[in-house]
Structure 1
Amino acid sequence: MTCRLLRPFALAALMLVSALAQAAEVSPEQIKRGEYLARAADCIACHTVPRTGQPFAGGYGIASPLGTIYSSNITPSTSAGIGNYTLQDFDNALRRGIRKDGAHLYPAMPYTAYAKLQPEDVEALYAYLMHGVKPVDAQPRRTRLPFPFNIRLSMAVWNSLFLDPRVFQPEQGKSEDFNRGKYLVEALEHCSACHTPRNMLMAENPDAPFAGGQLGAWYAPNITADPVSGVGGWTQAELVQYLKTGHVAGKAAAAGPMAEAVSDSLSHLTDPDLQAMATYLKTIAPIRNTADSKPAWAWGSPANDDDSLRGTAGVTQSNRPTSAAELFSANCASCHQANGMGTTDTAYPSLTNNTALGHLNPSNLIAVILNGVDRPLPDGHHAFMPGFGPGSLINPLSDADIATLANYTLQRFGNTNVHVTPEEVAASRKGGEPPLLAKLPRVLPVVLMLFALLLILGGWRSARQRKLRHVARPSPTPRTP
């Protein structure tokens, strides 16, 4: 009887000893390495609510085409986070997308890329999150996707089709820089999650790696080594500078998700790691969009329509702009200058030789006008542009105004082959054009009703045909004895 009473205490003591032994095995160096890896994997970007949230406490709403997916709490809290996860539990979630309770994660968590992580890096990440992060006992908001996407078990089928569980293996005969860069690009930084187009089931298209993909209202451009459609025309130094700062004069200025990746992750990497990433990016098999006639950054030249506005009343609250030039002058010229060349200190980038105005896909131009830019820079300065969409504190513009403004900047400073419609602006406001799979819940009831009607009609026709056959069948002639 006494032994039975003491058994729970013995079990608790055993668990405590096990936990203490595990903690003793974790070194400060491993925790520090795990912190760097968490930066490289950009964990904080999704698992922390910007400005108001506590680090890694989850609750950040990730706008996916299927609905908003809220990130989980990955602090070592035993009530709300991953404090009860063993290393194996953590590995299952990180590399296979399966939580401790057996439920499947959605691939908004890029476990398809993290599946490549080396075991020692998984251990270091686990050590950091368990011993270097403050526990937060707060349950984040639950994800509630519409039917049928709320059936998490369906992800088991998705994983069987699209999850490659193999750990990264260095390529024989390649330099250390190349292999380190490939590991960072394909595994930790999970670049393909945004820069690779998706198929109908929202998996990455294996035939077009890094060829550019739509990310809601934003467009993640082609980053293959193609000199026209990709980054083949960028120098190694320019790539490193862009990854570190998000800006290269005469090439591009980061906004949207890429700006977040620079601020939260890439700007924290060491120079050797950034060099390694640039080395690998320059070797990715080139994929050309045949519609591209020259690189996106090569479009545009200075233009100035101020002379045509001289003597006009100017734009005020009571005097609306009557031309695209007036719209630009009233909303953009004070920062980007009347000739579109920006400022010499690059605080306000040039609109010429800027990929946002050079791509055939105008998503980024529309999205940046709607949402603006607001991100810290590595040198302590801040990149800021006010948005002109809903809730703008400057001047909310209509879909038609934003389309007019976008088309003016394209014709004067960018790719003259691109035209923006008010309908495209309206779609951007809603988070971008939803893919076919996301439209399934809207059409599913109709499809099910049609299917049911077909079954009923098929059953009725089958019954009717049997009846007709029975009526038409001649009665058997009685046999004469």
Structure 2
Amino acid sequence: MKPLNLMHAIAVGAAMAFAMISPASAAQPEAMSRGAYLARAADCVACHTVADGKPFAGGLKMGTPFGNIYSTNITPDKQTGIGGYTLADFDRAVRHGVAQDGHQLYPAMPYPSYAKISDSDLASLYGYFMHEVAPVHQANRPGEIKWPLNIRWPLAIWNRMFVDMHPYASDAAHDAAWNRGAYLVQSLGHCGACHTPRGVGFQEQSTGGGSEFLGGSTLDGWTASDLRGDQAAGLGRWSHADIVAFLKDGGNAHASVFGSMIDVYNNSSQFLTDDDLSAIATYLKSLPPSHPDAPGWTYDDTTAQALKHGDFSSAQGLSGRAGAQVFRTQCASCHGVDGKGLGDRLPSLAGNPNVLAEDPSSVVNLILNGSQRVVRHGMPDSYRMAPFRLQLSDQEIADVATWIRHAWGNRAGAVTAADVAKLRASTDMSSNQVIILKMR
């Protein structure tokens, strides 16, 4: 259950303008109930808890182009939470986007994905929230969207046009592991909500079967990665083990979690069983590339040799000397002159799919605002990307970002000072800080 991102917000606006077979679940970790495990897989805590607040009591502020909304209390308190919800009420809210009193939920609640949750898993989630979550008496905060934009009934039209309300059905052409992975990715994990580009109605272009699904998308100043088989900007060069490591440990030799994915990792993916992580990897590795004709990536040592000898002018990159100098003085100590970083803690920039993405938003955002805290298996990270918004100008950030996107064999588009200025104006360091939330 994720914060409302820009694409979700636009989907709400578009709607206003229009005025199973359950795969067998792997064993849950010891001391965690099935319902608690499923709530982890769905990352419910991320949206429904605020810093220093009680778990699932709501109140998280979510910005939209029309005004702010706040996540709701989903503890079993009967007056302010969902304690009065029947299983049917819970089903209607989670899988159909309709609250107990009949009002439509904004698609900030990813019910277009949760619609695929199986009946048995939904019942387990209901049992968890009714009997294991501590009730918290905390009134919901009203939204700040003004009339008439706060009228919600047009969302029902949007749902009919764009949302498939049928639970996931196993595909007989694939084995149990593939189906388990597909189920987790498409339903509880709601990966498509961020990683799938949007169509004319700002809906996900496809929900599991089309070539656009999980093909990458840009929202909230971040580029959600291409999770398909593209060789450069996708997962084509990643092994099955690489994907498992990324989800379990927060990084691998190719990349590490950043942006909104840190929240997913901190609260969700690292808690999944090895069997489920393997199933997810099996499913993702089966997805063909969105752009099969796009060029691949091969490491080029020219950049490293030039930097080692201080020859900034001959180092690869369109921004030449200026970008190379910024990199050598500000970045090389962590990411290395060879661009290969240091394991999964200090990520590689050479061949990193996020560096090679068509949209450079993530690269620029990370340089501007740094990275959030990653907590691996209860241990906070020791090394994080530092913010450079105060040290570097828009032009310097544009130079080094362009240079990185053209070094070590990388071949991606240039970044302009205007690109940086736009992200600088719409982001800040405080907005990128994450609060680590523990489900109690």
TM-score w.r.t. structure 2 length? 0.79
Residue matched to 1:41: 42
Q: Distance in 2 between matches of 1:423 and 1:266?
A: 36
* Alpha-carbon contact 1:93-1:99 (below 8 Å) kept: yes
Q: Distance in 1 between matches of 2:140 and 2:396?
A: 38
Residue matched to 2:174: 174
What pairs up with 1:110-149 in 2 under 5 angstroms? 110-145=110-145, 149=149
Q: Distance in 2 between matches of 1:348 and 1:229?
A: 19
**2:419 aligned with 1:424:** yes
Residue matched to 2:267: 264
Bigger radius of gyration, 1 or 2?
1
* Alpha-carbon contact 2:255-2:344 (below 8 Å) kept: no
Q: Distance in 2 between matches of 1:94 and 1:308?
A: 58
Q: Distance in 2 between matches of 1:300 and 1:376?
A: 33
**2:103 aligned with 1:103:** yes
TM-score w.r.t. structure 1 length? 0.73
Q: Give the direction of change, closer, same or farther, for the CA distance of 1:216–1:200 in structure 2 (3 Å limit).
A: farther
- 1:262, distance to aligned residue in structure 2 (A): 1.6
Q: Give the direction of change, closer, same or farther, for the CA distance of 1:228–1:53 in structure 2 (3 Å limit).
A: same
SS in 2 for 1:423: helix
Q: What letter matches 2:257 in structure 1? A: A
- 1:285, distance to aligned residue in structure 2 (A): 4.3
Residue matched to 2:58: 58
Q: Distance in 2 between matches of 1:101 and 1:379?
A: 39
Q: Distance in 2 between matches of 1:346 and 1:276?
A: 22
Structure scoring higher RCO (CA < 8 A, sep ≥ 6) equals 2
- 1:38, distance to aligned residue in structure 2 (A): 0.1
* Alpha-carbon contact 1:230-1:286 (below 8 Å) kept: yes
Residue matched to 1:246: 250
SS in 2 for 1:75: coil
What pairs up with 1:34-433 in 2 under 5 angstroms? 34-49=35-50, 51-64=51-64, 68-145=68-145, 149-206=149-206, 207=210, 208-249=212-253, 251-288=254-291, 290=293, 292-295=294-297, 298=298, 301=301, 303=304, 305=307, 308=310, 323-343=322-342, 346-373=344-371, 374-378=373-377, 380-382=379-381, 383-389=383-389, 395-413=390-408, 415-431=410-426
- 1:410, distance to aligned residue in structure 2 (A): 2.3
Q: Distance in 2 between matches of 1:107 and 1:30?
A: 33
Q: Give the direction of change, closer, same or farther, for the CA distance of 1:414–1:254 in structure 2 (3 Å limit).
A: farther
* Alpha-carbon contact 2:48-2:55 (below 8 Å) kept: yes
* Structure 1: runs of 5+ lacking an equivalent: 1-28, 311-321, 390-394, 433-481
* Alpha-carbon contact 2:35-2:121 (below 8 Å) kept: yes
* Alpha-carbon contact 1:410-1:416 (below 8 Å) kept: yes
Q: Distance in 2 between matches of 1:233 and 1:288?
A: 14
- 1:150, distance to aligned residue in structure 2 (A): 2.1
- 1:95, distance to aligned residue in structure 2 (A): 0.5
What pairs up with 1:444-459 in 2 under 5 angstroms? none
Q: Give the direction of change, closer, same or farther, for the CA distance of 1:380–1:405 in structure 2 (3 Å limit).
A: same
Q: Distance in 2 between matches of 1:205 and 1:166?
A: 17
Q: How many residues align?
A: 382
Q: Distance in 2 between matches of 1:300 and 1:360?
A: 20
Q: Distance in 1 between matches of 2:159 and 2:241?
A: 38
SS in 1 for 2:368: helix
Q: Give the direction of change, closer, same or farther, for the CA distance of 1:85–1:397 in structure 2 (3 Å limit).
A: farther
* Alpha-carbon contact 1:30-1:127 (below 8 Å) kept: no
> What's the Cα RMSD here?
2.7
- 1:216, distance to aligned residue in structure 2 (A): 2.1
- 1:113, distance to aligned residue in structure 2 (A): 0.7
Residue matched to 1:454: none
Q: Give the direction of change, closer, same or farther, for the CA distance of 1:285–1:151 in structure 2 (3 Å limit).
A: farther
* Alpha-carbon contact 2:195-2:216 (below 8 Å) kept: yes
CA deviation vs aligned residue, 1:230-251 (integer Å, no higher than 9, x gap): 32332111111112122111x2
* Alpha-carbon contact 1:64-1:216 (below 8 Å) kept: no
Q: What letter matches 1:428 in structure 2? A: L
SS in 2 for 1:335: helix
Q: Give the direction of change, closer, same or farther, for the CA distance of 1:285–1:406 in structure 2 (3 Å limit).
A: closer
- 1:271, distance to aligned residue in structure 2 (A): 0.2
Q: Give the direction of change, closer, same or farther, for the CA distance of 1:148–1:356 in structure 2 (3 Å limit).
A: farther
* Alpha-carbon contact 1:31-1:131 (below 8 Å) kept: no
Q: Distance in 1 between matches of 2:368 and 2:54?
A: 28
* Alpha-carbon contact 2:225-2:353 (below 8 Å) kept: no
Q: What letter matches 1:104 in structure 2? A: Q
Q: Distance in 2 between matches of 1:118 and 1:369?
A: 41
CA deviation vs aligned residue, 1:337-392 (integer Å, no higher than 9, x gap): 4554433x543223223222222221111111122122112372515222223xxx
Q: Give the direction of change, closer, same or farther, for the CA distance of 1:229–1:324 in structure 2 (3 Å limit).
A: closer
Q: Give the direction of change, closer, same or farther, for the CA distance of 1:132–1:165 in structure 2 (3 Å limit).
A: same
* Alpha-carbon contact 2:351-2:410 (below 8 Å) kept: no
Q: Distance in 2 between matches of 1:282 and 1:365?
A: 25
- 1:226, distance to aligned residue in structure 2 (A): 4.2
Q: Distance in 2 between matches of 1:334 and 1:140?
A: 47
* Alpha-carbon contact 2:374-2:380 (below 8 Å) kept: no
Residue matched to 2:18: none
Q: Distance in 1 between matches of 2:198 and 2:173?
A: 31
* Structure 2: runs of 5+ lacking an equivalent: 1-29, 313-320, 428-440
Q: Distance in 2 between matches of 1:178 and 1:347?
A: 29
Residue matched to 1:6: none
SS in 1 for 2:407: helix
Percent of aligned pairs sharing the same letter:
41
Q: Give the direction of change, closer, same or farther, for the CA distance of 1:146–1:306 in structure 2 (3 Å limit).
A: farther
| Structure with a larger share of its residues in helix | 1
SS in 1 for 2:182: helix
Q: Distance in 2 between matches of 1:403 and 1:148?
A: 41
CA deviation vs aligned residue, 1:374-429 (integer Å, no higher than 9, x gap): 2112372515222223xxxxx44332232122123223346344211122223323
* Alpha-carbon contact 1:213-1:219 (below 8 Å) kept: yes
List, as ranges, runs of 4+ consecutive aligned residues in structure 1 with deviation greater than 6 Å. none
